[in-house]
Structure 1
Amino acid sequence: MEIKDFINGLQHVGIPTEKMLQSITFYQQLGFKLVNQEIQPDGGGVAFLENNDFIVELYEQKNLDGHTGVIDHIALQVSEEIDTLFEMIQAKDYPILSEGIETLAYWNKGISFFIIEGPNKEKIEFCEKH
């Protein structure tokens, strides 16, 4: 198998915000529907809005001054074999930004994910919903 065989498509685009309610309202006015809202481990909020299978993740982050760009990361939906994919990524020596495969209690059943750095310093998240 190759890395491409594990990727099922774009899962979401992550956007940090200091104005959560304003951001949610903005995307709702564009036709997005609020499909999930959670509290992050650091206490900040996170919201997922969907429009025709395209998901925007808004997450609270303070002090965005000096943040390079508005879009923080892209997330790719992966198959149920995230462990195998992680080993393949490690073998290719891509810069891994996360500490192994991490988990969060999002989307009712949780997610597993890891993040690498692309050639332009972009963050690419590989994410498996449980």
Structure 2
Amino acid sequence: MLGVLSMPEFDKGELHIHTDVKDIEKVYAMINQAGLNSTQDTVHFLPFWENGVKFFTIEGPNKEKVEFSQYL
């Protein structure tokens, strides 16, 4: 379940929140269905670590960056 976190002491855009997920495609679909992908970002792949990582970023309610990633 996704909730809203309010942190008024941070200026807009200065906060970057990251979370690891087990199924990036499922989370991406849930974010889009909920209408939370205001940046229209897509799932990206980077060849880091042993098998790479997939990730996408959305903008939170206070303009913070919220990144979801899955290490493969």
Q: TM-score higher than 0.5 here? A: yes
Structure-to-structure mapping, 1:25-64, within 5 angstroms:
none
Structure 2: segments with no counterpart, 5+ residues: 4-12
Q: Name which of 81, 84, 94 aligns with 2:26.
A: 84
Length-normalised TM-score, structure 1: 0.43
Q: Runs of 4 or more off by more than 4 Å in structure 1?
A: none
**Counterparts of 2:59 and 2:69 in 1: how far apart (Å)?**
15
Q: Name which of 93, 97, 107 aligns with 2:35.
A: 93
What root-mean-square deviation, in Å, do the aligned CA atoms of Structure 1 and Structure 2 show? 2.2
- Count residues with an aligned counterpart: 63
Length-normalised TM-score, structure 2: 0.72
User: Which amino acid in the other structure matches residue 48 of structure 2?
Assistant: Y
| Greater gyration radius | 1
Structure 1: segments with no counterpart, 5+ residues: 5-67
Identity of aligned residues (%): 33
Larger helix proportion, structure 1 or 2? 1
Residue 90 of structure 1 aligns to a residue in which SS?
A: helix
Larger strand proportion, structure 1 or 2? 1
